[in-house]
Homo-oligomer: A and B are copies of this chain.
Amino acid sequence: MNTQPINKPTESELEILNILWTLGPATVKDVHEKLALTKDTGYTTTLKIMQNMLGKQLVTRDASSKIHVYTAAVNQEQAQGEMVQKIIQTMFNGSAMQLVMQALGNHKTSDSELAMIQEYLEKKKTKQ
């Protein structure tokens, strides 16, 4: 799997990547069905975007049968990391903490989740 800096996906491409990360290898039809749940868009539009993504090497595809199967070519965690990095720089003045506060502030997060974060923080403190 490619670990080069990612050829920055657009908003729409990101949505599709997210679907591919969830579904694993999938056809245009699969992706479009998922996408259509939240977005009013045509089949050929989805197809075209995925073809663009192929050009950018954001996905790979198996075209051995008529029905092409697409797979995300970028690592989910890496993409998440780069995005978070970007946001922190651009919107939170380089402070991860400010981002964390925002993320937790406007969200209902369960006690168990909060506990997990606390645990994570403990480990991190001792490690550093």
User: Which residues of A pack against B, CB within 8 Å?
Assistant: 11, 14-15, 18, 22, 77, 79-81, 83-85, 87-88, 90-93, 95-109, 111, 113-118, 120-121, 124-125, 128
Contacts and interface: CB of A to CB of B under 8 A. Distances in A.
Q: Which 3 A-B pairs have the closest CB atoms?
A: A96-B107, A97-B113, A96-B103
Given A111-B125, A117-B121, A99 B103 contact: yes
Contacts of A100: 100, 103-104, 117
Contacts of A109: 96-97, 124
A81 to B, nearest CB: 5
A26 B113 CA distance: 42
A121 B125 contact: no
Contact of A14 (B81, B83, B90): B90
A6 to B, nearest CB: 12
Contact of A121 (B15, B87, B114): B114
B103 A117 contact: no
Given A90-B15, A97-B113, A102 B81 contact: yes
Nearest to A79: B91
Given A14-B91, A121-B118, A84 B102 contact: yes
Given A97-B113, A117-B97, A88 B107 contact: yes
